[in-house]
Amino acid sequence: MAASTLLQLLEVALFGAILLLGVLTRSGPVALLGGGFLVGIAVLNILAPEGGSIYRRSWIGYTLAGLFVLGGVVLYHFAG
């Protein structure tokens, strides 16, 4: 197994654990953070066939994830 594949599997396990922790503790912001991390890694992998460096794909993926979390926290604040 390639080192990058192993790293991504570990990241997904960690990010999933953060999401689960947020759900189990009924903490919306923590759940959003875990979900945001998962969105970031998903976008990073979705962009892989298009090429580009890992840094470019990470920047795009985790920027979108940050917007997801920020928007979710704002909605959580006003909904609660």
Residue 3: predicted pLDDT: 86
What's the rounded Cα separation, in Å, for the pair 57 and 43? Answer: 8
- Which ranges of the chain have pLDDT less than 50? none
Residue 51: predicted pLDDT: 85
Residue 56: predicted pLDDT: 93
Residue 4: predicted pLDDT: 81
Residue 32: predicted pLDDT: 96
Which residues have a Cβ under 8 Å from the Cβ of 21 and sit 6 or more positions away?
Answer: 27, 30, 34
Residue 52: predicted pLDDT: 86
| pTM beyond 0.85 | yes
